[in-house]
């Protein structure tokens, strides 16, 4: 089956949703988007895990997608997180994202329900049947308790409107098997910043990144080196920035990256429960790492 071109190649930022006084801070979000694009980012991914979509109200979720599409103004592709564990809601939210101009839809495996592999195939296929923009799957079993297996991927890769997956399973052995099974039928993005180069060396098209919230130019350089066949340079950057990547995951994402962005004056570190701020010890550790990279973060 001939696939559509990928929605993007390189680095897509899983952008945070900044809050101020428990409201979405659209001024800050607009500045973050402009800064990302100025740094050369290849795509903006809005309302994903890092964007705290699970604590946005339905109205906020729709408004943040619409605002992002309008602010980006076709400068780069916008991928809207519209997944749910409720099929009807996922389709309704996806149709809204399509209507306001998102370029693709990110659909996480349905959480809590613990769907069977047959259920996952039916769920994703039916969503893809009923939306007008390409679907990118999002496999993150550590978050959802539900993983897409190889056989399910083989079936889903045959759907003409399912064009890619964000793989955050963390299992390189599984990923090798996945590329062998469907790597010529579906585009694969890394969903983990510490696995960008291994995944791209297997044929991955880039990353949907947390790191790029604070280091977009570095993440772009890392991925574009691989796209240009310079895996040595990509690997050098992967290793050079590994301590920063690890620091951004010292506790549950997006807590550390929001704290880091606050330390860098980019937005507040405000979160919504059940997420909460880090301990003083963790803050000091993160600050130390940021200072270590202070001259390099761009």
Catalytic residue positions, numbered: 138, 166
Among 254, 264, 257, 215, residue whose Cα is nearest residue 238: 215
The per-residue b/e assignment along 250-280, b for 16 or more CB within 10 angstroms, e otherwise, is eeebbbbbbbbbbeeebbebbbeeebeebee
What is the rounded distance in angstroms from the CA atom of residue 210 to the CA atom of residue 194? Answer: 10
Cα atoms in the 13 Å half-sphere on the side-chain side of 14: 26
Q: In whole angstroms, what is the distance from residue 239 CA to residue 12 CA?
A: 20
Question: At which residue do the structure tokens 């790597």 appear?
Answer: 183
**CB-based burial, 4-38: b 16+ in 10 Å, e otherwise:** eebbbbbbbbbbbbbbeeeebbbebbbebbeebbe
**Using an 8 Å Cβ cutoff, are 43 and 7 in contact?**
yes
Distance from C-alpha of 298 to C-alpha of 293, rounded to nearest angstrom: 10
CA 1 from centroid of its chain's CA atoms: 26
């Amino acid at each position: 089956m001939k696939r559509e071109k990928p929605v993007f190649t390189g680095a897509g930022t899983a952008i945070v949703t900044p809050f101020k006084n428990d409201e979405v801070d659209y001024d800050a979000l607009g500045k973050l988007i402009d800064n990302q694009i100025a740094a050369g980012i290849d795509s903006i991914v809005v309302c994903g895990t890092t964007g705290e979509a699970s604590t946005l109200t339905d109205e906020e979720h729709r408004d943040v997608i619409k605002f992002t599409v309008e602010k980006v103004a076709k400068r780069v592709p916008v991928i809207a997180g519209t997944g749910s564990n409720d099929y009807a809601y996922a389709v309704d939210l996806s149709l809204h994202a399509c209507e306001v101009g998102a370029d693709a839809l990110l659909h996480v495996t349905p959480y809590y329900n613990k769907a069977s592999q047959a259920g996952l195939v039916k769920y994703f296929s039916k969503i893809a049947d009923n939306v007008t923009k390409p679907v990118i799957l999002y496999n993150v079993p550590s978050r959802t308790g539900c993983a897409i297996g190889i056989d399910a991927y083989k079936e889903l890769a045959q759907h003409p409107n399912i064009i890619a997956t964000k793989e955050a399973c963390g299992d390189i052995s599984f990923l090798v098997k996945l590329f062998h099974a469907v790597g010529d039928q579906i585009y694969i993005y890394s969903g983990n910043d510490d696995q960008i180069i291994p995944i791209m060396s297997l044929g991955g098209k880039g990353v949907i990144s947390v790191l790029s919230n604070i280091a977009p130019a570095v993440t772009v350089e890392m991925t574009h080196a691989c796209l240009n066949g310079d895996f040595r340079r990509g690997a050098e950057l992967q290793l050079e920035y590994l301590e920063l990547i690890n620091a951004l995951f010292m506790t549950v994402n997006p807590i550390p990256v929001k704290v880091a962005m606050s330390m860098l004056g980019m937005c507040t570190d405000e979160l919504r429960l059940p997420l909460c701020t880090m301990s003083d010890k963790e803050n000091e550790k993160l600050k130390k790492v940021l200072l270590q990279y202070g001259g390099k973060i761009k």
